Amino acid sequence: MNDWEARDIRHAAQLLVGDYYGERPEEKLDMIRGEKEKRAAYLCKKLSCNKSSVALEIGSGMGLTSKPFAKAVKQLYCSDISESFLALARKECAGIANIEFVHIRSEPASFEFPDEFFDVIFSDAVFIHLNLYDIFWYFSEFQRLAKRRGRVFINIRNAARMDMNSFAQMAGFYRQNPATLKTLLCWNSLDAVIKIAANFGFRLQSAGRFRGLYKGPTVDLLFDKQ
């Protein structure tokens, strides 16, 4: 069992949105759904999705972004390392025919999809938890999975704008239990992430302010495969 397995719906919501909605975020799921719908619309536009797009979501969580996103594409594959999240996502997305679910059994992740299978790969509020080694191996997989001119979207916490109060809080959690490292926020060099992406044939198309729950030094990054 990994640290992303939720004990109940409250714990799942806390893992998903942190303390942004207070101590009982499960009581505000309709509000969270509304925010996720806006985010899905933004992502679909940013990624130039259409009804012929085949998309992979890394870290689909409770499926709150997946459900509206699926309306804009031909097929959406939702992947997550947490089986409890996948169970909640299946329930959230019940009745939607063009969604399939994939369990990421270990990281660094590898997938059993054919080469150049996806038009779009996106991961929202997931890479903010990953270190550069994880990011390296994910982009290695993206190189294999993305079609030529395929688009990849991630977001990271920008180390150049690191807030010491937030970092100190994460450092405190880490000291209490180093095994929970993967659930903590992680700051990375923007230049290093762009260099890793370029190593695998991806060119940065845009870098902009994150429009969602994670304010501050989080930056949205859009790449395309050369």
Q: What is the pLDDT of residue 216?
A: 67
Q: How many domains, in total, are found in the chain? A: 1
Q: Is residue 195 part of a domain?
A: yes
Band (pLDDT 50/70/90 cuts) for residue 18 is confident
Q: Is residue 1 part of a domain?
A: no
Where are any strands of DSSP class E within 66-225? 75-80, 99-103, 118-122, 146-158, 187-188, 202-209, 218-225
Instruction: Copy the structure tokens of residue 214.
Output: 């994670």
Query: Rounded CA gap, 60 and 79, in Å?
Result: 6
Instruction: Write the Ramachandran bin of 63: left for phi over 0, alpha for psi from -120 to 50, otherwise beta.
Output: left
Q: Which residues pair with 208 in a beta bridge?
A: 220
Q: Is residue 56 part of a domain?
A: yes
Q: What is the pLDDT of residues 21-48, one digit of tens each?
A: 888 999 999 999 999 999 999 999 999 9
Q: Is residue 116 part of a domain?
A: yes
Q: Is residue 21 part of a domain?
A: yes
Query: Rounded CA gap, 7 and 167, in Å?
Result: 26
The alpha carbon dihedral of 116, 120, 123, 127 has a sign of: positive
Give yes or no for a contact between 108 and 139, defined as CB atoms under 8 angstroms apart: no
Q: Is residue 4 part of a domain?
A: no
Question: What pTM does this model have?
Answer: 0.95
Q: What is the pLDDT of residues 143-171, one digit of tens each?
A: 999 999 999 999 999 999 998 999 999 99
* Count of other CB atoms within 10 angstroms of residue 199: 12
Q: What is the pLDDT of residues 52-66, one digit of tens each?
A: 999 999 999 999 999
Q: Is residue 152 part of a domain?
A: yes
User: Residue 33 belongs to what domain range?
Assistant: 9-225
Q: Is residue 67 part of a domain?
A: yes
Give yes or no for a contact between 171 and 116, defined as CB atoms under 8 angstroms apart: no
Give yes or no for a contact between 154 and 126, defined as CB atoms under 8 angstroms apart: yes
Q: What is the pLDDT of residue 197?
A: 98
Pairing of strands 218-225, 146-158: antiparallel
How far is residue 82 from each of residues 53, 70, 110, measured CA to CA in Å? 25, 20, 15
Q: What is the pLDDT of residue 2?
A: 76
Provide mean pLDDT across the span 191-200. Answer: 98
Q: The domain spanning residue 109 has which CATH number?
A: 3.40.50.150
Q: What is the pLDDT of residue 217?
A: 86
Q: What is the pLDDT of residue 209?
A: 84
Q: Which residues pair with 120 in a beta bridge?
A: 55, 151
Q: What angle do CA 37, 13, 49 make, to 5 degrees?
A: 25
Q: What is the pLDDT of residue 146?
A: 98
